[in-house]
Amino acid sequence: MITVQKLKVIVFFKAFILISLLVATFFTHNYFSNIDNKLSRQERSSKGKVSNMERKINSFNAKTKDIGEALATWEYLTSDYESFAGLRISTAKNII
């Protein structure tokens, strides 16, 4: 027969396990929300870089038939970025 003492121990351990799971869920949620915030900041930063490059292109607006000037323009526009969206600038220059 189960005594009151054994019931108290069983209830205590069940409560302990439940509280442990709730605490773990809370910290896991905070961890993943922090990761989500970091990714959002990186995304905003990338969008800012893209809009900055677009702004430079639109303001510079190099309409020329001279390929040397076009390459100089490309180098000027991309001088702030060593690599962008996985494309190395030196590779892009070779493509051009």
| Between residues 52 and 18, the one the model is more confident about | 18
Nearby residues of 85 by Cβ (< 8 Å), 6 or more positions away: none
For 61, which DSSP code?
Answer: -
Return the pLDDT at 66.
Answer: 62
Site of tokens 């060593």: 82
Average pLDDT estimate for 2-30:
85
Return the pLDDT at 48.
Answer: 75
What are the extents of the domains in the chain? 1-45
Residue 21 pLDDT exceeds 70: yes
Amino acid residing at 69: E
Return the pLDDT at 12.
Answer: 92
